[in-house]
Amino acid sequence: MTKMNKTIQLQDLGTKDYKESWEYQEELFKGVVDLKIQNRREETDWPTPNYLLFVEHPHVYTLGKSGDLENLLLSEKQLEAKGATFYKINRGGDITYHGPGQIVGYPILDLENFFTDIHKYLRFLEESIILTLAEYGLESGRSDGETGVWLDVGTPFARKICAMGVRASRWVTMHGFALNVNVDLGYFDNIIPCGIRGKGVTSLNVELGVEKVDEEEVKAKIIKHLTELFEAEFV
């Protein structure tokens, strides 16, 4: 039986191209999966590593494997004019936007180090954001059937502040969450976010009525809550 490793290696990649970040995630993901396969094959018990990558992407739209391309409302030329790129990727969920002022978190965790339950994993990611927003005086929550974190759920003013989409194989996760902190919300006008019509998108600075929120402070709060929820240690 492999020893459980509850240490998570934190890496802040700064601003990084989406494709480069995706390839780096795939590399780490493959390393964890390969080690698990080796442990089973050779009956060894090398502990598997866990990672959390923080990154900010230049303007990019990504479409999940079950997504509908019609939810992207721009042509290739219009994308170019906006300085944005587009990728179809292997996470769950529909279309979303990443860009400056957004904290993107990619946990690459071997859930066998914590618990083997994808739904619980998603709820914990959501909870870390809900608890973080509460520290800024914002009450947020989940919307039935719609992953992510929302404000004013169940009202005509429901709006999403954090998108989520994950992929898992052999209990190893990748992709993750995107929290709007200081985002230019105009970029969301070019898509039907997550394929959900008639619901808004918001950003923490807009909700607080300030020009800019300290993103490093927000990251520190997210890490604090992830530490408690997963009973993990970040290094």
Active site residue ranges: 194
Mean pLDDT, the chain, integer: 91
Q: pLDDT value at position 64?
A: 79
CATH of domain 57-102+115-230: 3.30.930.10
Query: Model-level pTM?
Result: 0.92
Mean pLDDT to the nearest integer, 98-106: 97
For the cut 70, the answer to whether the pLDDT of residue 2 exceeds it is no
pLDDT for 62-93, tens place per residue? Answer: 887 777 788 888 888 888 888 899 888 777 66
If you search the block for the tokens 């459980």, which residue do you land on?
Answer: 4
**Of residues 198, 117, 203, 197, the one with CA closest to residue 163:** 203
Mean pLDDT to the nearest integer, 30-52: 96
Q: How confident is the model at residue 200 (pLDDT cuts 50, 70, 90)?
A: confident
pLDDT for 141-189, tens place per residue? Answer: 998 877 899 999 989 899 999 999 888 999 999 999 999 999 999 888 8
Mean pLDDT to the nearest integer, 48-57: 98
pLDDT for 114-131, tens place per residue? Answer: 999 999 999 999 999 999
For the cut 80, the answer to whether the pLDDT of residue 213 exceeds it is yes
